[in-house]
Each structure stands twice: as structure tokens, then as C-alpha cells.
Structure 1
């Protein structure tokens, strides 16, 4: 009993298993890392145009044409000093030279850059290829079938965009955000190319146009739209965490609970930009990938022995959570006892989520990488609790003492109700029978698992 009482697996006492060794961590405190504040100036960008240079290396074989692919980079826009930009260009050139074709996935790398008389090896860089057609995107009628089929990768302009930070050591956690942001850059580059591109002479025949690679325009005079887009990457890619915490305050615990419940979120009473920030924060806390992994197939129906409905299919139901925000003026007119801006229906939470929210609100809201690390720790702690409960229930199939341990664990962990729903996703009939017995006892004794 002493073992089960001390082993609560709450968010304040998390055990993390690494390489088969179980280590105890006093709460979900993320290890101290260098500051990642949005107001700091040590975040940079660079945009390069890629110019392929193909060198023939083997012409002796008639059926094999071996070529060495290399690319030269010309800087279009950057806020790095010259020495740091040269170091970055060397690193990107080395990355591109490792593949025979341009990589289609962004990469994160630690690089050393000379910056303001300081040499740093801790700069984290995200780099990605952006592709833009080198033809007039609106001049479809002047492109024949033959010429359109001849437009290959060499007739497209490629760019490399890099975002660099000297203090965000967990930028890789924002891969989806970076990839989405880079996709938004492509239309701006297309427009810039369309404006700058010289329209080929209509008197030139299509065969001559097909044989000659297209000439790419000079983008040294970059439009202000792209320049602004590049400069705003810290706010657009990272800042949603800060904005959501500041906007919701202590009510963030209900958003975390909804995310762990695999809820469907409906938001009203706020701007489109704020709604998108909240949804991105919600996805950071969501375990939807785990639900999909555990969700049984449509043909797999698991029943529970002794259940009133022997054909019942256990699955985590996706509740609908409505999030309504009251205008600031309305809050000012109301009494101080009801000054919250957030109305959630249903308004639910648990001890696990309350502890997580308390910890989040104690963090520096501008330190986005530490916040993101902590959100990952929340999910890790929840999954750890789930695995431990499954182990107890499996042992309880043959041991009444472990049945009691399972009950104690459900009461102590702070998220017992949610854990039971996840167990039902992939539990074996024997395990679900044990869980059904516990649910009956908990209901009869009016036990609270939140």
C-alpha cells in the first residue's frame, strides 16, 4: 500500500523511462536552457537563390550519363553580418552537395557563425528549399504541350530560406510551424518572379524555347512584402504560445484537458488570428496521434464480460468543447467575481491539468522554447501514467492486491477518468473486465477521479 500511495505519477512526480532505466524527475520542470525570448535580437534569416552548375564527369559510357551536381548560392536577403552570412552559405552549400537532387524536406542543424566578434557553435538553423516556376504563371495559352512537358526541375527557380537562432535549442519541436511558414513564402516569391521576369519574345518558336533553359530574374532589389515576411518569422512561427497563454491565463487548464480528451474545439468571440493561435496551442497538447494508433479497426469489436451491452465498442469519444470569449468591455462591467474572459462548455478539468496550468503560468511566457518543451513533457507524463495503469490492470487479472493498487492509482494520479478512456481503446477483454469492475465500484462509492 505504501508503494502505491507514493507512486502517484501526478504531474508533480513524473517517472521517465529511458533506455530501459527508470529515472525519477521531480515534477515536469524542463531543464534550464538558454533564453528564447521573442524580444531578443539574436534571431536571423537569410534567403538565397540556387543556381545549378552541372559538370560532366564521365562520358565514356553510352548508356550511363554520370554527372556531378553542384549549386552556387547568391544571397538575396539577410540580416546577418557579412562574416556570419559567409559561414552560413558554406554550411548550406555543404548540405546541398550531399544529394544528387535538391532535398525536399527542411533540416535543422547546429552551426558555428561569426557574429559580432563572438564565435558561437550553438546557433540552430532551419533551412528549406522553396521552389518557384520560372515561367509566367498566367500565360497558359502561349505554352504548348511540347514546351510544357519540357519544363523540368532545371527550368524552375529554387531558393533556400534559413532561419537562425542563437538561443532556441529546441527549434526542432516547431518543424510543422516552420514547414507551414515556408509554404507561405512560395506565393510571395512567385509574385516577385512574375513581376521581375522578362517575357520571352512571342516570335521565338516553341522548340527553341524548350531547348534553352529559362533565364531567371535578378532579385537583388527585393520587394518589401518578402522582406517583412522574413523578418516576422519569430512572431509568426514561435509567438503563438506566448499569445495564447497571455490571452487565456489560468483558463489554459481547460484547454489542456480538452486536448488530452481528443475533443473537437469550437471557438467564438475572438479574432481569426487569435483563434488560429489557440488551435495551434491546442494541437501542441493533443494526443490525437496516440488515439489513432490505439483506435481499433472498424472490424475489431471488443466486448466486456458482464457488460450490459455485450456488443459495445469501446473507443475514446471525441467530445465537442465550445470556447467563447467575452469582450473586454463586458468583463469590465461585470463584478470581480466573474471577471474571466473565457466561457467553456463543458467546463472540465482535472488535478493533472490544473498542476500543468500552474506550472505553465509560472514560466516566462516569452520563453517559447521552454514552454514547448514543457508541453511535450505534459504529454510524456500522461502517456507514462497510462502505461503504468495498463500494467497494474494486467496484473490485476490474477491478483486482487493489484486490483486495489489500480484503484489507488486511479485516485492518486489526478487524471484517472481520462486514463480509463484511453485504456478502453486497445484493452483486451480480460483487462476491460477488470476496468468495468473498478468503474462499478467507483460509481457506487461516489469516488472522484479528477
Structure 2
């Protein structure tokens, strides 16, 4: 049932790759994407689930309930992603009710909240903490006796999960268009971004910068230096003034690496596919990590070989991201004199045909 009601991630890619659709097709696809995102909330008592509210078609809801029941009976986690059917992404979270020590029977009771949209692959691109945080915002609303605030607070809040938790990247790309490269460069180079706009746009851009940076991967050994690196002379803030249409950006800096990703972001935004946009953003970060690891390897080799130093120069010139990579490498190797000497030579090499541009 879910498969027929919800488009898969592959279907989204197929639509995105078409180059012959017109504005009506795009509008229709956008509407379909919106309609194929659902929520459901259940009261969980002991081992039973009771439906509180759902945006699912009535014939599809029992299937979701069976899926959740099986998951809970097997001791499934309170939060996480799952798939009721192969082509559907489903996030589930159990919010346990607060209870006093003299009410032991209340243990395990609470509300199960589910968000459905795209495919498992698409929804998995949004880390559980992002959706967990959104669900936590509902905690206070669920303390009302008999949920008399269902129509005034709970339902409106749940109905906005897709708009608030998924669409922010799409809104940012639509806002800045080809200037997205400046935001990507700011994210990688740890440049502060000042936004002159309403609170929602400020929040959207801040979340985009955080998603495009490598802070979320700081526990991985290969990315630690990228996340912690800071330049000796912090660059001027990137300023985005949204009082004009299109927005005016000041102190803009980009490079060839970031510029090369512009069209991919614009194509995905045009096709109204937020899951594909998130995938492109993850690919962007992965490529930055791979290039940083390559530079680290070349620097180690260059300490023992002039030819390796030449290869390192060629790599920096070809990757288009030399300014960012060297900034991070310099921070990581600050306590290694020989590596610092190599990096100084590389910096001089890059200063001649400067990679960064404004």
C-alpha cells in the first residue's frame, strides 16, 4: 500500500534527470512531493498502539501500525529510521511519558511519532538527531490531558515536519541560486556568515552552513582536522542581505571546487527534490574529505621526495580547492616542522596563480 502512495528515491532521480519538462511538470512534481510526506502519532500503552492522529490514507495506516508493533515487540530502538515497505522511508520515535515512582505501571507508556517520505535512502540522509530535535519540540504539547490541543497545536506542528526538517536546503538554494558556491566555500573555510533577513531565513542559512561543513563528521579520524581547523587571520564575514531581490552578498569568496557544484544544486532545486539536494550536499562533503586525505598523503611523501612535492603541487592546482585544503593542513600539521616547510612551499605555489576569487 505504501509503495503505491509514496514515490521512491529512484523515481525522484528519474524525474530530476529529465531535461524536457516544463513549468507545469515542475509544479506538478512539487505538489506530488508534498502530498507524499506523512505523519502519524500513536498512544503506546503496555504493548498496544492506539491511533491519535495521522495524515496517511485510511487504508494505509493499519499497515504502518503493524510495522511499528513488530518493531516494538522485537525491542526496536526508540528512535531511528525504518522501512514499512522497500520504497518508503519511515522515521519512528518513542516519547515516553513522565511518571512518578508511585506509578510503576506507567513505565513504557508514551507516544510513538512517525514521519514518512521519500525512500529509506533519502530519509536516512537526514541524521536522526535532526528529526529527534523536531520531535522533542512536541514534548510539552503532549502533557495536556486527553490531548485537547490536538487540532490547535499537535496536528499543525506534525504537519510541518517536512517543511521544517527537510526543505530548508531547498529554500536556501532557491534564495541564493548560483551564489550557493559562496556559502559552500564559507562552510568549508569556517567563515562566519551574517544574514540580514527574517528569523526563518537566518535559521535556514545557518542550518545549511552547518550541513555543508564537516562538523557533523568530527568523530571520524579522517575529518578531525577539517572540523577543527581555523585560519590564523579569520576571513571577513560573508554578509547576505535579503532586503533586495535577489539577495546581495558581500565579502564573497569561492574557488573552482565550489563553483563546479553550482549546477548540480540548481538542477536538483529546479526539480523540487529535497532528498536529492541533500545527497548532493553529502557528495560535496565526501569529495572535500577525500581531497584532504589525498593532500595529507602527498605531504608525507613530499617530506622524502622532490617528485612527490611536484605531484602535490599538481594536485592542488587541479583540485580547485587548494586554499581550503592548505588552510586545514596548516592547522593540523602546526607541530610538525618538516610538514610546515612543505606547506609553506605549497602556499607560495598557490599564491602565483591564485585559486580563490571574489
SS of equivalent to 2:83: strand
Q: TM-score, normalised by structure 2?
A: 0.81
Q: Deviations over 1:150-180 (max 9, x none)?
A: 3558268500011112556310121333112
Q: Which has the higher contact order (CA 8 A, sep 6+)?
A: 1
Tell me which protein shows more helix as a share of its residues: 2
1:227 to 146, 155, 158: 155
Match of 2:280 among 342, 364, 374: 374
1:436 maps to 344
Q: State the 1:359 CA deviation.
A: 2.1
Quick check: 1:176 aligned with 2:141? no
Partners in 2 of 1:371 and 1:256 — Cα distance? 13
Q: What is the DSSP-based 3-state SS (H/G/I as helix, E as strand, rest coil) of the residue aligned with 1:262?
A: coil
CA offset at residue 76 of structure 1?
Answer: 0.6
Match of 1:263 in 2: 191
What's the counterpart of residue 185 of structure 1? Answer: 138
Cα deviation, residue 131, structure 1: 2.9
Residues 25-424 of structure 1 correspond to what in structure 2 (within 5 A)? Answer: 33-35=10-12, 39-40=31-32, 41-52=35-46, 71-99=47-75, 103-104=77-78, 106-112=79-85, 121-133=86-98, 149-151=101-103, 154=106, 157-167=109-119, 169-174=121-126, 175-190=128-143, 192-193=144-145, 196=146, 219=147, 222-268=150-196, 270-289=197-216, 294-295=224-225, 315-316=230-231, 319=235, 321-328=237-244, 340-344=246-250, 346-365=251-270, 366-424=272-330
CA deviation after TM superposition for structure 1 residue 266, in Å: 2.4
Partner of 1:170, secondary structure, is: helix
Describe the superposition over 1:318-376 as per-residue Cα deviations: whole angstroms up to 9, x where unpaired.
Answer: 54524231424xx5xxxxxxxx52223x3111011111123211224420000000000
Q: What CA deviation, in whole Å up to 9, does each residue of 1:376-395 have, x standing for no partner?
A: 00011111111112222222
SS at match of 1:363: helix
Cα drift, residue 51 of structure 1: 0.8
Rounded to whole Å, the distance in 2 between the matches of 1:180 and 1:320 is: 32
Rounded to whole Å, the distance in 1 between the matches of 2:210 and 2:252 is 19
The alpha carbon displacement at 1:229 in A equals: 1.6
> Displacement, 1:417?
0.8
Q: For 1:442 and 1:227, how far apart are their aligned partners in 2?
A: 55
Alignment partner of 1:35: what SS? helix
Tell whether the 8 Å contact from 2:83 to 2:120 is kept in structure 1 after alignment.
Answer: no
Q: TM-score, normalised by structure 1?
A: 0.65
1:405 to partner: Cα distance: 1.3
Gaps of 5+ in 1: 1-31, 53-70, 113-120, 135-147, 197-218, 299-313, 332-339
Q: Tell me how far apart the structure 2 counterparts of residues 379 and 327 of structure 1 sit (CA, whole Å).
A: 30
3-state SS, counterpart of residue 360 of structure 1: helix
Separation in 1 of the partners of 2:192 and 2:157? 31
Which one has the bigger strand percentage?
1
Would the aligned equivalents of 1:122 and 1:167 in 2 still touch at CA under 8 Å?
yes
CA RMSD of aligned residues (A): 2.8
CA contact (8 A) 1:42 1:167 kept: no
8 Å contact from structure 2 (residues 38, 117) kept in 1:
yes
Report the counterpart of residue 24 of structure 2 in structure 1.
none
Larger radius of gyration: 1
**Partners of 1:242 and 1:107 in 2: how far apart?**
23
Change in Cα spacing, 1:50 to 1:399, as seen in structure 2 (3 Å) is: same
Tell me the CA shift for residue 133 of structure 1: 3.4
Residue 185 of structure 1 and its aligned partner are, at CA, apart by: 1.4
The answer to which of 221-230 and 381-390 deviates more is 221-230
Q: Is the 8 A contact 2:134 2:165 kept in 1?
A: yes
- Number of aligned positions between the proteins: 322
Kept in 2: contact 1:107–1:127 (CA 8 A): yes
